[in-house]
Amino acid sequence: MYLIEKHYQNLVQDDLILSQGQAYTNPHQIPRMKKVNLLCPNEGGKTGWKDVLPTLGLLDFLGLQKAYLVRSKKSSPHLQISKGEVVASKQSLRGQHMYTFLHKLIFEAMPKLRNFSPLPIPKHPNTYSFQLQEIFAFDELTSLYISLEKISTLHIDFNIQSTTSSEVHYLLQSLQVCIEGKSPKN
């Protein structure tokens, strides 16, 4: 069990019950992280295996489980993408893999970001998304620079079980994710 998982189970859940002023009648109503989605888009619409394999490798190293390809559902002439082409690589992390990635992100990668500014306040009650521009902030990726140098962004989505965006804000701050400002009132 990771430190961040213990922190959530032993402290954050109790703090959410006591400080949010809501009467949770069921322990399943307490806000929690359901999953973390990692998405790595193919740059410039390139869909050859030479361009797709690095994104799959990146997600395999970060999430410690197998990534899969995302194909376009319909063609888009202005983007020069036809139906069925590979447009990204995706990985959904749950359970132990999710907490492992959160630990790497919060305590190893985010402190190494050069131009880091706090993430914006959550606006949606169930998801929180942001882009990580510096993928080489993760230590395990620096030795793979030659293979991964063309990958510029990593999209990270937190799927959270909650009812308000203030609960999402409080949960993320409690997990030490650097969010700007005070919690919105919902």
In a domain, 76, yes or no: yes
In a domain, 56, yes or no: yes
In a domain, 184, yes or no: no
pLDDT digits (tens, 9 = 90+) for 25-48: 777 788 888 999 998 887 655 556
User: Side-chain half-sphere of 121: how many Cα atoms within 13 Å?
Assistant: 13
Mean pLDDT of all residues in the chain? 80
pLDDT digits (tens, 9 = 90+) for 119-158: 887 788 888 888 888 888 888 888 888 878 878 788 899 9
Q: Are 156 and 138 in contact (CB under 8 A)?
A: no
129: left (phi over 0), alpha (psi -120 to 50) or beta: beta
In a domain, 43, yes or no: yes
> Pick from 28, 33, 16, 5: which is nearest to 158 by CA?
33
State mean pLDDT over 171-177. Answer: 82
Q: How far apart are CA 140 and CA 41, in angstroms?
A: 20
Question: 91 falls in which pLDDT band (50, 70, 90)?
Answer: very high
DSSP 67-119: -EEEE-SS-BGGGTB-TT-EEEEEEEE-HHHHHHHHHIIIIIIGGG-TT--PB
- Give the amino acid at 56: L
Report the CATH number at residue 141. Answer: 3.30.1440.10
State mean pLDDT over 6-34. Answer: 78
- Give the amino acid at 98: M
Look-up of token digits 């899969």: 68
Crossing angle (nearest 10°) for helices 95-103 and 49-63: 90
In a domain, 166, yes or no: yes
In a domain, 155, yes or no: yes
At residue 184, the 3 state secondary structure works out as coil
Query: Structurally, how many domains does the chain consist of?
Result: 1
State mean pLDDT over 62-84. Answer: 79
Query: Domain range for residue 68?
Result: 3-174
In a domain, 180, yes or no: no
Q: How far apart are CA 97 and CA 79, in angstroms?
A: 34
